[in-house]
Structure 1
Amino acid sequence: MKNLYLFLFLFSSVTIFSQNILKGKIVGKDNIPLQGVNIYFDGTTFSTVSDANGDYSIRYEPKANSVLVVSFMGYEREYLSGLDSTKPLNIKMTVSKNQLKEVVINKKELFTRAQKLKLFREYFLGQTKNAKSTVIYNEDDIQFKYDKKKLMFTAFSDKPLVIMNSSLGYKINYELVGFEITFDKVSISSKDVINNFYQGVSRFEEINNSSEILERREKAFQGSQVQFFRTLANKDWGSDKFLLFNDSNNLDPNVRFRINKEDDLVKVTILPQPKEEVKNEENISDVVASYKVMFNNSESSKIVFLTDNFSIYKYGNNSNINDILFLGKIAEKKVGDLLPLNYRM
């Protein structure tokens, strides 16, 4: 009887574990198995590569809502979500059409490449201590465009950016999907920037985990956007954490947000904010609510909601990233202070 119990326990353990492993095969042209394909969940340390038979397996957190990225030179990048780990996920990749963006060399360029790189680093990596020790190994692959009519500066790369963050002990492969900076006049100076945006998918590889590095990671996490959303989801507000404000008045988050938990998914409803409280100093359209947030009684920021509802997933990522804007201290942390979504989880 003891042996039977042991067998049942082991069987149960294997079954539970297998539900968190995603497996499959990757093939390319003529159904030939592809070896060395990069498979990873966006923004995490969960990654793998396919073997000589095209087979792969990767840890999977179903309720984290992370996007599975499949990337291989010469083939179109795949983005997959809504996965079912109980079935093999076999992928046939599509040969890339080699639509490399053409760089038009204009002798009358308004600004030098050095000026453009400086601006890109400032708004992509940031200007914190961690950012200043972060290096992009393949900056030559970054291409820039300045649209004088639209007063818009854009950056793109056909190859993933290889980023070494020695301060936080991570190597990051960042596939830049979009990068835009808008000015209020023809300029390359940050003082004339009125809007900035960047987006991409990232894969983290830990290269150092010394005690000093771990301390820096924790400091980078404190007061970050991910911590804010975890605070909101868990109602974990406090004077040594985040507080919600309107001007100088401390607000009760429970009468500003409705939180409904469904396992690892949290649905957030932004409750109506009195009109007299809404101060749209940045002239942002479609504002639903706007609040000041204070972290640890010292770091002041502002959060602007352009939606009245959204979802927060297991890691602290959310469903409406483009509809929730941050300004102030919290917005200073960019890729140079970026941690894996599964940090602390």
Structure 2
Amino acid sequence: MKTILSFILILLTSSVSAQSYFYIKGKVVDDSTRLPLEGASVLCQNTTKGTITNKEGEFRMELPAGGHNLVITYTGYETESVRISSSQDNSNELNIILKKKEKKLEEVVIQASTEVKDGWTKYGKQLSDYFIGSTPFAKQCSIENPDVLKFYFSRKRNVLKVKAEEPVVVMNYALGYRISYQLDSFIYDYNTKFSAYAGVAFYTELDSTAEQKTVWLKNREKAYQGSRLHFMRCYYDSTLADNGFVIEHIFNDTITAKPRIRSLENPYDSAVYVLVDSVDKEINLFGKYRIVYTLQPMEKEYLIANKYPLSAKEQLSTLELLNGFVITENGFFYEQHEVINSGYWAWKNLADQLPYDYWPED
């Protein structure tokens, strides 16, 4: 897969709000012929921003300032993705070169696994609980096209795997979004109770009455407060304490070998918090950290499911950092696969997640 990472980024400020934006433009062509691909989808991952290419294979988009993954798809071609950021600047357009998919037998990725023909009937609830979630908002969500899902189960390893032949459509009536999710993989290990999924989400706002819109805005605000997106933006802005966040380092005592917790007194120490360029921030933390959000309690359903006292006053999540990571101003961070959630954040799956272009109203 080839991608020429050169692009035009034009910064501007919206006249409607103080939110800043930047433009990108580019061209999508065939790998072998170099002919333009008309109608290719150009989506900004985990946002409501997307477009398609014109007859010349060209596209132009306005994006909120910060970092994004641009995902380019075209029927019969391999998907391509490009990381972009408003901190970058160049005078050339973004050139995307797509390769045709090779005709081959289905990959033997799921060895010793058997496809379950009536998988949705048997395992649909399991998938929904760990992909969409089991929160109050999740009860207002539904998968509209379960027929695109393929379920595989390994009896030897007691592991469920799910793949999708085309994007999974999730209607989120709690937050007011139609989510098109390109599900690359979902796994659930019945032995360890571990679950994980990977893919690309694209959000579309649902039509609504003014009354319904008010409800959705309130629910979005609730989903945002204390979320990982909220945390990342506050870390970027150096406003963690002001917004109720506390970072605590979890480490093993060298004498007792038992886990201990110590508050990270200054998360903005120069050894930890580094300016990568004029905009992006690098966070040099490694290991396990407990993230405490003091302004809202955890939801009752989570406390009951985990046998925690209903009197618990704070939200508790854990970040396991395999490496340092970089945060951009909209809360986008990378490398995302090196940041592992557990605790309250891990309970908040697709039903409670917001696009990167969501910002609370003032």
For the residue of structure 2 that corresponds to 1:243, the secondary structure is strand
For the residue of structure 1 that corresponds to 2:99, the secondary structure is coil
Please list, as runs of the form range in 1=range in 2, the aligned pairs for 1:258-337 lying within 5 A after superposition: 258-261=272-275, 262-270=277-285, 288-296=287-295, 298-299=297-298, 300-307=315-322, 309-337=324-352
For the residue of structure 2 that corresponds to 1:66, the secondary structure is strand
For the residue of structure 1 that corresponds to 2:182, the secondary structure is strand
Do the aligned partners of 1:21 and 1:85 also contact (CA within 8 Å) in 2?
A: no
The code of the aligned residue for 2:23 comes to I
Do the aligned partners of 1:171 and 1:204 also contact (CA within 8 Å) in 2?
A: yes
Q: Distance in 1 between matches of 2:323 and 2:97?
A: 39
For the residue of structure 1 that corresponds to 2:175, the secondary structure is coil
1:274 corresponding residue in structure 2: none
Q: Distance in 2 between matches of 1:315 and 1:231?
A: 10
1:34 corresponding residue in structure 2: 37
Q: Distance in 2 between matches of 1:203 and 1:343?
A: 13
Task: Judge which range, 229-238 or 161-170, deviates more.
Answer: 229-238
Please list, as runs of the form range in 1=range in 2, the aligned pairs for 1:1-345 lying within 5 A after superposition: 16-17=11-12, 20-28=22-30, 30-60=33-63, 64-81=66-83, 86-99=91-104, 101=106, 113-184=120-191, 193-208=192-207, 210-238=213-241, 241-245=244-248, 251-254=263-266, 258-261=272-275, 262-270=277-285, 288-296=287-295, 298-299=297-298, 300-307=315-322, 309-344=324-359
Do the aligned partners of 2:287 and 2:321 also contact (CA within 8 Å) in 1?
A: yes
For the residue of structure 2 that corresponds to 1:90, the secondary structure is strand
Do the aligned partners of 1:23 and 1:85 also contact (CA within 8 Å) in 2?
A: no
Distance 1:25 1:256, change over 3 A: closer
Once the two structures are TM-superposed, the CA of residue 136 in structure 1 deviates from its matched residue by 1.8
Do the aligned partners of 2:114 and 2:154 also contact (CA within 8 Å) in 1?
A: no
State the Cα RMSD in Å. Answer: 3.4
The code of the aligned residue for 1:86 comes to S
Do the aligned partners of 2:178 and 2:203 also contact (CA within 8 Å) in 1?
A: yes
Distance 1:21 1:15, change over 3 A: closer
Larger radius of gyration: 1
Do the aligned partners of 1:162 and 1:173 also contact (CA within 8 Å) in 2?
A: yes
Q: Distance in 2 between matches of 1:39 and 1:298?
A: 39
State the identity as a percent. 25
Distance 1:253 1:149, change over 3 A: farther
Q: Distance in 2 between matches of 1:43 and 1:297?
A: 25
For the residue of structure 1 that corresponds to 2:229, the secondary structure is helix
The code of the aligned residue for 1:52 comes to K
Q: TM-score, normalised by structure 2?
A: 0.73
Q: Distance in 2 between matches of 1:310 and 1:134?
A: 32
The code of the aligned residue for 1:251 comes to S
For the residue of structure 1 that corresponds to 2:185, the secondary structure is strand
Q: Distance in 2 between matches of 1:344 and 1:326?
A: 22
Once the two structures are TM-superposed, the CA of residue 236 in structure 1 deviates from its matched residue by 1.9
The code of the aligned residue for 1:296 comes to L
**Alpha-carbon displacement from aligned partner over 1:194-216 (angstroms, at most 9, x marks no partner):** 31111111211112461211111
Once the two structures are TM-superposed, the CA of residue 20 in structure 1 deviates from its matched residue by 2.8
For the residue of structure 1 that corresponds to 2:193, the secondary structure is strand
Distance 1:115 1:245, change over 3 A: same
Q: Distance in 2 between matches of 1:329 and 1:156?
A: 26
| Runs of 5+ unmatched residues, structure 2 | 1-8, 14-20, 251-259, 299-314
Q: Which has the higher helix share?
A: 1
Q: Distance in 2 between matches of 1:295 and 1:240?
A: 9
Task: Judge which range, 232-241 or 116-125, deviates more.
Answer: 232-241
Task: Judge which range, 148-157 or 207-216, deviates more.
Answer: 207-216
For the residue of structure 1 that corresponds to 2:180, the secondary structure is strand
- How many aligned positions are there? 306
